[in-house]
Structure 1
Amino acid sequence: MAYHTVADDKLQLYLAHRPALVDYAAPIVGCRARAEDVVQEAWLRFSGQALEADIRHPASYLYRIVRNLALDHTRRTATEKTQPGSEEILAELPASTASPEHTVSQQNELSAISRALEELPLRTRTAFEMHRLGGYTLQHVATHLDISVSLVHQLVRDALRHCMERLEDDL
């Protein structure tokens, strides 16, 4: 005596509708071979459903899986076509991390700027740090230091010039 299971019902349903499912997916994905792949993936998803899952219309459910997978495939293909050769482009992009040489160079520049800032008078250094590093407006710095905006501008310019000279000397 052979036992009849829900899994057998699913398989029979799939086999009965398979050609129609391929015909249904082919116009969406644009190729019968890709449609075959979509239908195969749909079967894997459909057969993987829990046996106790209450699917009232299994054939409709299977068609819905095929449709969704076909549309996903079409979207994925369209995205790949918008960037032809994207694999090659990505391979040619520079690394997002700096090379060891570049890192050392940047550290040397920062050290030179730090030493140059230490050589400045306190008011000049404060004006420069507030404006260029702190993002404060010239007006805000002038108010904080109780000096004119034009003097703040001159102090910042002097500090910047001093730092540039030190960078050129050190490098």
Structure 2
Amino acid sequence: MTRRQHTILEQLYRDNADSLLGFVNRRMDVQDAEDLVQNAFLRMAEAVPERPIENPLGYLYRISANLIVDHLRHRQRRFDFAALEDDALEVHDPAPDMEAMVFSRQQIDLLKQALRELPPRCREVFILHKFRHLSYAEIAARLQISESTVVKQMIKARAHCKRQVYGKEEKEE
């Protein structure tokens, strides 16, 4: 990404993140909306179009709309599969099996290690957002940094953690 593209993306975020969040909130669960908006900006940053994007804001809304559809499809597939499982099983044991517990423990350990590997500021931004549930604006005010810096740090942290825990890049779902 060129410096000019980076500047345009930052300006797009500053000017439109709230309205894009509203757009997403009206179409899906509020709890997933911020992550989806962040993914939309990340995908736009990673896009390598054959020709310049004529309407960056429209392109960003299209990415968001596509991510919403993907999210809703994924959630519906999980719901359909869960319904099939419930029908197929007569008795359900609510306790997780040992294999699932070990796998979860391994993922938690990998996440802890990934967080330790992050630069201090990046780690702090990630923890404030994901574990303390602060908004990007609240984090920016608390750490006396810009919201765009918060976004950049979150993108960096999420990509690193996803790579370390799942062994794949952020843009994969």
Is the shorter-chain TM-score for this pair beyond 0.5, marking a shared fold? no
* TM-score band, normalised by shorter chain: 0.3 to 0.5
Compute the TM-score of the two structures, normalised by the length of structure 1. 0.44
Compute the TM-score of the two structures, normalised by the length of structure 2. 0.44
Larger-gyration structure (1/2): 1
